[in-house]
Amino acid sequence: MIRTKHKIEYSPEKCVGCQLCYKACFVDVIRWDAEKKRPVFKYVSDCEHCFYCEAVCAKGAIRVVPDYASEHMGQHFEQYA
């Protein structure tokens, strides 16, 4: 099993509930809490560290912190060895 420790730092006080991060994530890491009008970072271990969510957030409420030392990244690099 691939285990990763990717982190997504989220600052709710900066968030304006625009949903752009939720719509940007193509691997279902980010779900939407309709009641609280805020993103929920549900499956962070599946994050592909594309940084789209961080890039689209005009409020700087998201910071993606990939786990570069994980097995997952190692597998990517082994393809080119």
**Apex CA 49: angle with CA 71 and CA 63, to 5°?**
120
Nearest approach, Cβ of residue 72 and ligand SF4 (Å):
12
User: Which is nearer to ligand SF4, 19 or 70 (by Cβ)?
Assistant: 19
30 binds ligand SF4 (CB under 6 A): yes
Instruction: Classify residue 40 by its DSSP letter.
Output: E
Nearer to ligand SF4, 8 or 81 (CB): 8
Which residue from 59, 63, 70, 73 is in contact with ligand SF4, where contact means CB under 6 A?
59
Torsion angle in degrees (nearest 10) through CA of 41, 42, 44, 49: -60
